[in-house]
A and B are shown apart, each in its own frame.
Chain A
Amino acid sequence: MQFSEDDLRRALRRKDPGPDFTQRVLARIEQAESTTKSVQSKLARQKFFSFRFWPMRFAALAAMVLVAVGILQYDRYETHAKQENAKKQAVLALQITSATLNQALHRALVRSERSQ
């Protein structure tokens, strides 16, 4: 059985996939896009809850707790330092007042002795 190259061309001529092929392709693209989005969000969820990231999460949490405790401690230390400073200043003020009063008393006593 013989055949020519034209016979082959006729046998292998292009075939149309049908009138709605373009619509089917567009629908498939839409479907693929929505699937990709849901897969991505699922992956993100899985990633968030995966055990692989637990040590990192613990480290971050520990760091946050340490920073918070540090801030509280520093605040407490600063308040205490202010209180101590105020106490010292009050004591100094009382000492100065006491010394001034002593001097005044002493002068008054000297004057009264002289007048007698």
Chain B
Amino acid sequence: MEAQQEGRLEAALGKAAQGDQVGFAEIVREHQGMVFSIAYHFLRNSSLAEELAQEVFLHLYQNLSSIQSPAHLKYWLRRVAVHRCIDQSRRQKFRQEVALEEIPEPAIASSSADLMLSERLQKTVASLPERQRMIVILRYQEELGPAEIAEVLKMPVNTVKSTLNRSLAELRKKLARSFGEMKYAIF
């Protein structure tokens, strides 16, 4: 199944490299979730994430000749998305306000406690410093190992591991504090 998909993507890549829009559209459909989600979880702003994802695909369109394989394509898209997110974040300080429609719909029916926890976690991840935030996103959204994260971010593997541990500790601390504040607000 995976080999079939790989073959399909390779064909789409070949077509797109020759200027075929249908082939390029297939590539976009295949990777739009990954690129958009990296941007969305990092920036916590739907329209900015959409803008950034579009820019990444536009950049891909202009550099299709340099892409060698579907695996290289995935790596390239992830790397460009990650670096653009960090650049964007440096250019602009975002308000951490989230509109109601920007809270993702749950894939399966979950309890309100799960939803609340997910929302809190997203907000807390978004409040981490840039590098820590991106490492957490790449680890838990993209399921990358420390070595792969290190390659994408051009960092030593040990730095990635220690940053990840520090980020998780910070998340726990921040989450405990925010739930504590909520308790005071409710009672």
Contacts and interface: CB of A to CB of B under 8 A. Distances in A.
Interface of A: 1-3, 5, 7-18, 21-22, 24-26, 28-29, 32
A13 B137 CA distance: 9
A12 B41 contact: yes
How would you classify the secondary structure of chain A's contact residues: helix, strand, loop or mixed? Answer: helix
Interface residues of B, number: 41
B125 interface: yes
B118 A7 contact: yes
A38 to B, nearest CB: 17
A10 B29 CA distance: 22
Chain B at the A interface: SS class: helix
Contacts of B120: 1
B33 A16 contact: yes
B37 A3 contact: no
Contacts, number: 95
A21 B56 CA distance: 13
Nearest to B137: A12
B117 A21 contact: no
Q: Identify the interface centre among A8, A9, A10, A21: most chain B CB within 10 Å of its CB.
A: A8
Contacts of B57: 25, 29
A10 B104 CA distance: 11
Contact of B122 (A11, A24, A25): A11
Nearest to B28: A22
A3 B54 CA distance: 33
Interface in B134-187: 136-137, 140-141, 143, 171-172, 175-176, 178-179
